[in-house]
Structure 1
Amino acid sequence: MNIIDGQQQSKEWITLSLLYLMENKVYSDIKITEIAKKSGLVRQTIYRNYQDKDDILYEYLCHQLNMMDSEITKDQLSGEAIFIAFFNMWKEFVPNSLFQNIHAADRKIRQIIYRSLEYFVQTKYLNYFIPAQMSVGPLQHYALRSLSSMLHGILIEWSLQHYQQSPEEIGKLTYQLTDSTREYCLQGAMDKERKLNL
């Protein structure tokens, strides 16, 4: 096994250990020492791979969102179908331990979910509705933060409601609620492109 494979395996053990510990303990109460013990690794190995436990969960969530993005791209989805697929995949792939911690009202969990959604919106979702050659201006940055906040709020509330609405219903609702924000970002990108071509 080479160094890269060993590092990847260590990261997987660390992540799985954290998710396992979250099944019986609130995320904020889990210590790095417990993650190290559960994974069979020393603390230094964890700190060699991650700054803190928040980075472990953040990387895991970003990985899940990247997988969602791959599915959305592969299926060439557009419009509200993107949101429907997003909520469908969240419901299907999010581990029960994370779901439990959302219900435990752990603020730290919600902050990390928001950070990962912000990453998703700015690096992946943006490509779904703004052509690749265009870029958003500084004011659209606020609109994207707003879009991340809306997506986060709906996702958390939907999880707290035990997914009472179907992914189709909540996806369509999210698409409608974010319509003006998406339109603003697209218009801003088109205006910026126009100015560059003058």
Structure 2
Amino acid sequence: MEHAFQDGKEEVIQAWYMGDSDEDQRLPHHREPKEFIPLNKLSELGVVSWRLEGGDNHEEDEKLKKIREARGYTYVDICEICPEKLPNYEAKLKSFFEEHLHTDEEIRYCLEGSGYFDVRDEGDCWIRVALKKGGMIVLPAGIYHRFTLDTNNYIKALRLFVGEPVWTPYNRPHDELPARKEYLEAFVNKEVKNSAVTAH
């Protein structure tokens, strides 16, 4: 299922290394010069993504049904993040941008609008992932990440989950959690071992 629905994905999901400016979190924060990342680099970090249609027809969306069945996503709801719809908007946006991890996957499907998911690479550098309408992304359990809107100040996203949802964020550092250790073992340590092998 990871290899399905990849056509045109770069139109709705882009990724780049972030510069270290402390300007408004909603700006793109490119490095100079810009350093875009191919999406297969994200998959090496355990981040899975697809291109779907977006919009409000998600209940009839056959592609989405196939992904849900293949990955066991039984729970679904919709969240809208914008100044008009989210109580305590500024405080919430600030809390989403605190670096954290979850003990389960974080699954978001952008129905309308756009936003940024920032994830750490194996060297602890920030990668900014821009998600637009039609983009669907899965952040693996145990990956340090954060979220912010971009300057459009609006996203409408489907949240999916296996079983009853648990949204608990564990702000960094939480390296002792089993989910973190499992993530490192599955993705980061593997990368380090592979690069050590190819270096000799």
More strand by share: 2
More helix by share: 1
Whether the TM-score (by the shorter chain) exceeds 0.5 is no
Q: State the TM-score, normalized to the length of structure 1.
A: 0.26
Q: State the TM-score, normalized to the length of structure 2.
A: 0.25
Point out the structure with max Rg over C-alpha: 1
